Structure 1
Amino acid sequence: MAERPTINGTEPRGFDFEKMLDQLDELQLHDGYKAEIIRGNIVVSPWSKAFYLDVMELVCEQLRPHLPEEHRISYGPFLYLFPGLGRAYGPDIHVAHRSASRNTSNHLDGEALSFVAELTSSSTRNDDLTDKVETYGKAGVPVYLLLDMQEEQATVFWMPSADGYEARCSAPFGEKLPIPAPFDCSLDTIEFKAP
């Protein structure tokens, strides 16, 4: 799957988040795909390109010394739930309180997140730029880092509110980007370009 149809921006009539979550859990995806709930739809997309792993590791290495107490940074296939907003996302990089993973579920609480980062691809870019910006902000995630791999630009969003994020800052790959509280550091994007 290289591309997928776009979603019209509204939840379908009779949308039931819990039922949709059960359906998502029953999916048997082929290796190389992940599934999320976006705007009332189960959306399946391919995993990232190989060089994205280097970018994800670089972000983790730079942020790890600045993590809030009792938080951990990771990347990989973990599904964070935002039931009040009808969303379930598997962010590319996530920082959450350690207590979020102290259960036997394969679903994690989105309220435990202090940071998320998404690396866009041709199949996920629209959702990363729109729905996820709005949802992460409304859910109160303090910092959302969007790495637009097609435009080679990094954007950080902060100051979450009921309307989304109230502040943002962008820089082209190759420059440093300030990452606000609770991290208060700079992210060097010099090595984020495609090989």
Structure 2
Amino acid sequence: MTAPSDRPHMLPEEFEEVARLAARTAEGLRLEFINGKPGVKPVPDGDHGRIVQWLMRICIQARPDLWLHGQGLKVQSYRVGHARPDGTLAPADAFVGQGEWATAEQVLMVVEVTSYDSDTDRRDRVEKPRAYAETGIPVYLLIDRDSCEVTVHSDPDGVRYERTLTVPFGREVAIPEPVAVTLDTEPLTAWVR
């Protein structure tokens, strides 16, 4: 028989932070765990949802073998983390038999659409690109409603994406292999504040 550990599994400060985040989650936020830290993400607004619908339709028409899932993913190659991208492009049955947090082995692209909140810069432009690149996801598409730009991150090297292409809304952007889809971003101009 082993003696119980004197160290708590979670420090009181950590518990209070998780409890605070959980309370906010009930008020229209979702929990995520990135870079070993709990975080929150606002529940999407109507324009945000419309952008995801627009992208889903394009992906299905161009690549009927794939589906834009709303699946939570285990991210980062060397740290414990979970993220729920706004879209996860993978084969239709890629996540069958997996739980709420699936592996990213069959994921070709993840999509984030920025929300109008103070954490967007840190979360969508810094932490998530690094986490997705570390996980080896081939493409990270950021639809940035603050700057009215689309950024395509590709060629992950295990630490970061080696290629980044940013275009303003209204222009076409080619998403590279393994996705191989061209987006006409003109419709996005109607779904920003």
TM-score (norm 1): 0.77
Q: Give, in angstroms, the shift of residue 66 of structure 1.
A: 3.3
Asked whether the equivalents of residues 68 and 183 of structure 1 are also in contact (C-alpha less than 8 Å), the reply is no
Query: Which amino acid in 2 is paired with 1:67?
Result: R
Pick from 56, 81, 84 the counterpart of residue 87 of structure 1.
81
Query: What are the ranges of 5 or more consecutive residues in structure 2 without an aligned counterpart?
Result: 1-8
* CA distance in 2: counterparts of 1:124 and 1:108, whole angstroms: 24
Question: How many residues get paired?
Answer: 171
> For each residue in 1:44-69, what CA deviation from the matched residue of structure 2 results, as whole angstroms up to 9, or x when unmatched?
22112211111111111112233384
Query: Which amino acid in 2 is paired with 1:85?
Result: R
Q: Equivalent residue for 1:119?
A: 113
TM-score (norm 2): 0.78
* CA distance in 2: counterparts of 1:112 and 1:73, whole angstroms: 12
The list of structure 1 runs, each at least 4 consecutive aligned residues, that deviate by more than 4 angstroms after superposition, is none
Residues 31 and 98 of structure 1: CA distance in aligned 2, closer, same or farther (over 3 Å): farther
* CA distance in 1: counterparts of 2:105 and 2:122, whole angstroms: 24
Asked whether the equivalents of residues 129 and 140 of structure 2 are also in contact (C-alpha less than 8 Å), the reply is yes
Asked whether the equivalents of residues 36 and 79 of structure 2 are also in contact (C-alpha less than 8 Å), the reply is no
Asked whether the equivalents of residues 67 and 182 of structure 1 are also in contact (C-alpha less than 8 Å), the reply is no
* CA distance in 2: counterparts of 1:31 and 1:188, whole angstroms: 35
Q: Equivalent residue for 1:175?
A: 171
When the two chains are superposed, the root-mean-square deviation of aligned CA atoms in Å is 2.6
Larger Cα Rg: Structure 1 or Structure 2?
2
Query: What are the ranges of 5 or more consecutive residues in structure 1 without an aligned counterpart?
Result: 1-13
Query: SS of the residue aligned with 2:55?
Result: helix
Please identify, of 124-133 and 170-179, the stretch whose mean Cα deviation from structure 2 is larger: 124-133
Query: SS of the residue aligned with 1:86?
Result: coil
Query: SS of the residue aligned with 2:57?
Result: helix
* CA distance in 2: counterparts of 1:55 and 1:137, whole angstroms: 23
Mapping for residues 29-40 of structure 1, pairs under 5 Å: 29-30=25-26, 32-40=28-36
Residues 68 and 130 of structure 1: CA distance in aligned 2, closer, same or farther (over 3 Å): farther
Query: SS of the residue aligned with 1:101?
Result: coil
